[in-house]
Structure 1
Amino acid sequence: MSGINVNELGKAVGLAIAKQRQRKGLTQEEVAERLGIGMEAVSRMERGLVVPTVVRLAELAQIFECELADLLRESSTRPSEQGIVLAQQLERLTSQDRTLLLDTLSHLVERLASK
């Protein structure tokens, strides 16, 4: 047994899809049209009821103008991949805001790790 919980993975991938769709300012209907599928199919993917194939993820990445890896990284529970997601988010901030966020995050990690 692989230890991968398909339900949790489906929900995490669905959340990443929804996040990228919203980032691009697209509706589920617009994504469905571009994929040539029904809107309910997009909704099921975003809710994690259906885990999309690798081909479908590649199509979504093309629509969202992101890397295929971004959709998988955002759904990962691995600290190294989560670190990449955080780094991508940090790139959007000014140096001063990054410093503030990193200080805050460090304090939060210390507090949570001490419990």
Structure 2
Amino acid sequence: MLPEFPHGTTIHVVTHHGMWNMVTARQEGQFAKRIGMALAKQRIARNFTQEQVAALIGVEQETISRFERGATLPPLLRLIDLAEIFDVPLDALVRAGSARSIDQAIGLAESLNTLSEEDRVWVLGWVTDMCAKLAAVTEGKK
């Protein structure tokens, strides 16, 4: 049985490893915003302007602005171009847009790799404590 969605909800059906998943327009919009934030972060880290990036991939500056705001989800070929310009793996941009815990864990692990062992231990302890506290709060709301 399929879940019920409010009238007018756009549903996209996506296959993933042989399984069907429904993606609402809202989820797609959230994904676009997270991808956009990742693109803006990469562009700023490399001291590029939107105009420079647009010129490199042959689009208007407004297109880059729309990507970064999450107003438009970049097509796959544009994401590949952007990953090459920013010198990052394509999956890093896609993972940044993901709400899946495994993708977020990979991103967190990459951030932890930049720290000393002592700092990693401290951060891991802090994250573990925060997760336990948030889980308790969530459980209390049920």
TM-score by length of 1: 0.93
Q: CA RMSD in A?
A: 1.1
Residue 131 (structure 2) pairs with residue 95 (structure 1): no
Q: Provide structure 2 residue ranges, at least 5 long, that are not aligned to the other structure.
A: 1-10, 12-21, 138-142
Structure 1 unpaired stretches of 5+? none
Alignment partner of 1:3 out of 16, 23, 32:
23
Report the alpha carbon displacement of residue 102 of structure 1 after superposing the two structures with TM. 0.8
Question: 1:76-109: CA deviations, max 9, x gaps?
Answer: 0100111100111111111111111111111111
Is 21-30 or 68-77 further displaced after alignment? 21-30
Distance in 2 of aligned mates of 1:68 and 1:24: 16
Shift of residue 23, structure 1, vs aligned partner: 2.1
Shift of 1:9: 1.6
**Larger fraction in helix:** 1
Q: Tell me the SS of whatever aligns to 2:97.
A: coil
Task: Look up the equivalent residue of 2:119 and give its one-letter code.
Answer: D
Residue 3 (structure 1) shift: 2.5
* Aligned match of 2:36: 14
1:82 equivalent in structure 2: 104
Q: Counterparts of 1:59-70 in structure 2 under 5 Å? A: 59-70=81-92
Residues 40-79 of structure 1: CA deviation (Å, up to 9, x unaligned): 1100100011111100000000000000000000110100
Q: Which runs of 4+ in 1 moved over 3 A?
A: none
For 1:67 and 1:23, the matched residues in 2 are separated by 15
Q: Secondary structure at the match of 1:3?
A: strand
Q: TM-score, normalised by structure 2?
A: 0.77
Specify which structure has the higher proportion of strand: 2
Larger radius of gyration: 2
